[in-house]
A = this chain, B = another copy of it.
Amino acid sequence: MTTHTIPSIATRAPDQLRTVRIQRGFTMHAEGSVLISVGNTQVLCTASVEEKVPPHKKGSGEGWVTAEYGMLPRATNTRGSREAARGKQTGRTQEIQRLIGRSLRAVFDLKKLGERTIHLDCDVIQADGGTRCASITGAYVAAQDAVSWLLARGLIAESPVLHPVAAVSVGIVQGLPVLDLDYAQDSACDTDMNVVMTGAGHYVEVQGTAEGAAFSRAEMDRLLELAEKGIGELIAMQKQSLLI
């Protein structure tokens, strides 16, 4: 599993994605279970179908799609404290899982889902930058498998999925706009932007942050171009992985 050939930072072109691998059926219990690798980042995304909805959807005839995100304590270079042991999720964790949930709901017709919930659990096994984007891209594939499971059992008549959705980070590293930042690039960059887009080429989320110097409109335009290119490629890989 750890034998991918990763283009090194030195050799990868600034507009080139890291090597991506999408493994469906990674674990046996979940309705959808995907291990996505983006470079050295590995996230296990499972989709679980539950035949009930949260209180604000009860009786609405609509379903719900929600996400939780976690990182194994030693997914990172230095061991992080276990959130379950500390007794609460960090602000960063909550921010990320809210982002994943919103991104997936953006491509779901909740009426067609019926009064049930799809839980997307994104757990980072190994981190090397871009974990939230890998989570979104992988969760889409897991969600599709859960939808197929529902269709196969006749629980829904029609797919509630409107479009594919995928995400990538872009940033300005030492003055250079770069696609798909790894951890070293992310730590060194001035601006970091996470972009979530649908298969139709529309934005679901754009979250740009100046870590160092604030960024100009021209830089923003270049970053959005890079993101569009990368997301196009990711959506193609999602489609291919779902063919099998």
| Interface of A toward B, CB cutoff 8 Å | 1-2, 25-30, 33, 40, 42, 44, 46, 48, 50, 68, 70, 72-77, 79, 82-85, 87-89, 91-95, 97-98, 102, 106, 119, 121, 123, 125-127, 163, 193, 197-198, 200-210, 213-217, 220, 224
- B29 & A75 in contact (Cβ 8 Å cutoff): yes
Assembly stoichiometry (copies): 6
A interface SS class: mixed
Kindly state the separation between the CA atoms of A207 and B106 in the bound complex, as whole angstroms.
16
Q: Per a CB cutoff under 8 Å, which of B46, B89, B92, B102 touches A84? A: B89
What are the 3 closest A-B residue pairs judged by CB atoms, nearest first? A202-B214, A83-B84, A91-B94
Q: Which chain B residues border A27 with CB–CB below 8 Å?
A: 2, 42, 74-75, 125-126
Interface contacts beyond A33-B74, A206-B206, A217-B224: sample of 11 additional A-B pairs, CB < 8 Å, sorted by A:
A2-B28, A29-B75, A48-B73, A48-B74, A70-B82, A72-B121, A74-B119, A79-B121, A87-B88, A202-B213, A203-B217
Kindly state the separation between the CA atoms of A98 and B93 in the bound complex, as whole angstroms.
12
- B106 & A98 in contact (Cβ 8 Å cutoff): no
- A203 & B224 in contact (Cβ 8 Å cutoff): no
